[in-house]
Each structure stands twice: as C-alpha cells, then as structure tokens.
Amino acid sequence: MNSLPPSPLRRHLLAGSASALAAAGLASFTRGAVAQTAAVAAPKPLPAYAGWKDPNALIVHSSSTIETRRSAFGNGVITPAEQLYVRNNLPAPDAAILADRDAWQVAVSGVKNPRTMTLRELKSLGIESVAMVLQCSGNGRGYFPSKPSGTPWQVGAAGCVMWSGVPVRWVAEALGGVADGMMFMTGTGGEALPAGVDPKTVIVERSVPASAMADALLAWEMNGAPLSLAHGGPLRLIVPGYTGVNSIKYVKQLAFTAKETDARIMSHGYRISPPGAKGDPSQPSVQQMGVKSWINSPAPDSGPLKAGMVQILGVAFGGMNAVAKVEVSLDGGKNWAPARFVGPDLGRFAWRQFALATRLPAGSYELASRATDSAGNVQPEQRFENAGGYNNASWVDHAVKVTVA
C-alpha cells in the first residue's frame, strides 16, 4: 500500500472501480495505477520454482524475494521448507539441473590437488549435519525509516534449517589440503548468466575468511530431504554464522583463494556503507551475523488480545556464538524479565525459541525481546544506520505494539 499515492485518487483506487475513475476523467492517467492496485489487493502468486511452498505462510515480494510471515513461525525450532524464505539475485536455474543430482559437478581449486568432483564422489567422503540460522543480510530492512532500496524484509527473511552434507575441510583434505597462502574460501553459483553483460557484474560469487571452513558444509539435504531448486539444489555451500548471501546455491566452484573475489556482489554489494553512499571495497562486508531476537507471537497483526494469560513467543540466535539469554519487556524496554528457552538446543548456529508467560490486563503494550550471546554480546537497542539497510538487529525496531481489551 505504501507505493500508492496518498490522495483522494487513492481512495478511488481502493474502492477499486475502474469505471468510476473513467467517469471522473482519470482513465488514461490511472491505467498503471489500477494495475498496481490489483497487484496490491491480490497477493502475488508464488513463482513456479517455489510453487510447492505454503502461500498462507509467506509474503511474496517478487518472484525472487519471498519471506515468511511473522505470524507463521512455529515453535518446533526447524523452519519447514514450505515456510522458508527465498532470495535469488539471478533467475533460478532450470529444474533440469536436478534430473541427475549425483552427476552435479563442483570444481575445487586452491588445494594441493585441484579437480572437479561429482556430488556422487562428495557423498562418499562423509556426512555431517548442522542446524543453522539462514538469514538474509537485509532481514529487518523494512524497519529502516530511511527506506533503503532493496526488499523491505521484516523478520521473515530468516529460518532455522538443518543441512546435511560433507564438511568442506574433509573435501580439502581429500584433495591434499588447502594450498599455502589461501586466505579466503570463495563459492560460485551455477546460474546461467545473462548475455551481453560483464559476468563479474552479475555472478553470485562470495568470499569468506578461510577460517569459516571450520564449520562449512557442501550440503545436498535440507531438513532431511534432497535439496530443492529454490534452496540451491542439487548442492549448496553452507557457511554457518554468516549471512545468507555467503551460502552459495547451486555451487559449481569452490576455491581457496589468496584474495577476495572481485565479483561485484562482493566488491560493491553487501557493504556497510554510510547513509547516502555507494558500496565500495574499502567498507566492511556483510558477513558474520550478530546476536538478534524477535517476538513472533503475539504478532503485530494479531489484532486486539483478550486480557489474561499470554505466552509471548519468539526466536533468538547469536550468529557466530550460541545464544545464552533472552529477556522480554512489556513496556518498550523500561523493564525486562528473563524468558525461558523452549525445546532442544541444536547447537551454536541454530536459533532457540523462547517463551515468557505473563498476565496482561487491559491496556497497551510494547513487547520487546533482547538476546545476549555466550560471549556476552547484547542485542543492540538501535540499528546501525547504513545505506543498504543491512544487519538490522535493533530490539526497538523489532518490538510489537499490542492492545489488550
């Protein structure tokens, strides 16, 4: 709705009658606006490659940006695939790449014995599983008052996912070990690139410090099922603790490199640049995630609540560290009470669900949550302003206003 003009015209448009507009002599002017109104009124359909997802659990921003509704997050730790967000920087590859999964090839370089390996070979090297928060760097961008360009994600460009595959360090060992002087691990996506443009400006290729290899997987399963096309099947690089963009889907190249890739998505994209500035290589890259939490229930759109006992429910994670503690406030951060964790601990890269049981008499409340990680880092009160709208972990921005009747 934000994109509609705030005017009497908007009221006409919301009334939805094209003929009334024509009668008012606005027909030609409003043709585009009418189409836009229709798009706002009817939820966008899921794109074909994600058509198996649950439309009721999702907000479809575009065919390549789909987020989980805040009210759809459940309490079973792992986010079901049908509810998990999707973000593609390029059109998803053709589903034909899943026809023979085991034949998928990944070129591994920057090791003593570089070569191309098939998924079949990778499966013979071993398997591990890791539960990890997958979160887009721009999750929470929608709460930046500066309205940075990019998808205005709220909380739902994130989920907790169980990945299974071979640890990257075992792959490197099988190829003689990482070559000397390699400071980065660089993954390259397998999308077909548009013709007529410099590949470096569009390719999805990211470098993370080589130390990230300690926890990284080449994964072929998600939540116990073969990896879907939407989430990077047949093979995906998984970098626990780092923002989503670093976990390269349809990975076709894994390189240990002396330098960061000069692909634009690395050199200029996903940089923490001052408001109003463009990204450039001198600025910090969006990589490791920080401590963050938010409340999912009551959700902001839950409407007036009935006075009485309420379970305040949410998720909390520490990024690189385990989450150690969550506090909840009913009054916008003046007073805090400890929440309890719900369900099993799936390791330091997973999120934990939390609950606070409280009695809410009639009134207005600002429900906030604030997490602390195992190293003592506390979720920040305020967002760190930046042009791209990245890394929003502000507990103020994620607070939920509710009315109890």
Binds ligand MTE by CB under 6 A, chosen from 72, 122, 132, 134: 134
Q: At which residue do the structure tokens 């940075």 appear?
A: 148
Interface characters, 72-91, with Mo ion (x: CB under 5 A):
---------------x----
Which residue has its beta carbon closest to Mo ion? 136
86 binds ligand MTE (CB under 6 A): yes
Here the tokens at position 280 are 């450039």
Binds ligand MTE by CB under 6 A, chosen from 140, 142, 241, 244: 244
Q: Which stretch binds ligand MTE (CB under 6 A): 78-86, 95-103, 122-130, 292-300?
A: 78-86
Q: Which stretch binds ligand MTE (CB under 6 A): 84-92, 297-305, 330-338, 346-354?
A: 84-92
Residues pairing with 329 in the sheet? 368
Closer of 87 and 383 to Mo ion (Cβ): 87
60 binds ligand MTE (CB under 6 A): no
89 binds ligand MTE (CB under 6 A): yes
Here the tokens at position 355 are 């609950």
Binds Mo ion by CB under 5 A, chosen from 167, 234, 244, 389: 244
Binds ligand MTE by CB under 6 A, chosen from 182, 218, 245, 402: 245
Query: Whose CA is closest to 383, among 67, 139, 156?
Result: 139
134 binds Mo ion (CB under 5 A): no
Q: Which does 398 bind (CB under 5 to 8 A by kind): Mo ion, ligand MTE, none?
A: none
310 binds ligand MTE (CB under 6 A): no
Here the tokens at position 161 are 């996912």
Looking only at residues 163 through 182 of this chain, which bind ligand MTE when binding is defined by CB under 6 A?
none
Query: Whose CA is closest to 387, among 88, 141, 155, 208?
Result: 141
Q: Which residues of 172-203 are buried (b: 16+ CB within 10 A; e: fewer)?
A: bebbeebbeebebbbbbbbbeeeeeeeeeebb
Residues sharing a CB contact under 8 Å with residue 344, sequence separation 6 or more, in sequence order: 77
Helix axes 8-15, 27-41, angle to 10 degrees: 60
Query: Whose CA is closest to 112, among 167, 173, 185, 187?
Result: 173
Cα–Cα distance for residue pair 353/222, rounded to 1 Å: 20
Q: Which does 204 bind (CB under 5 to 8 A by kind): ligand MTE, Mo ion, none?
A: ligand MTE
Give the footprint of Mo ion on this chain (CB under 5 A).
87, 136, 244-245
Q: Which residues bind ligand MTE (CB under 6 A)?
A: 84-90, 134, 136, 189, 191, 204, 231-232, 244-245, 247-250
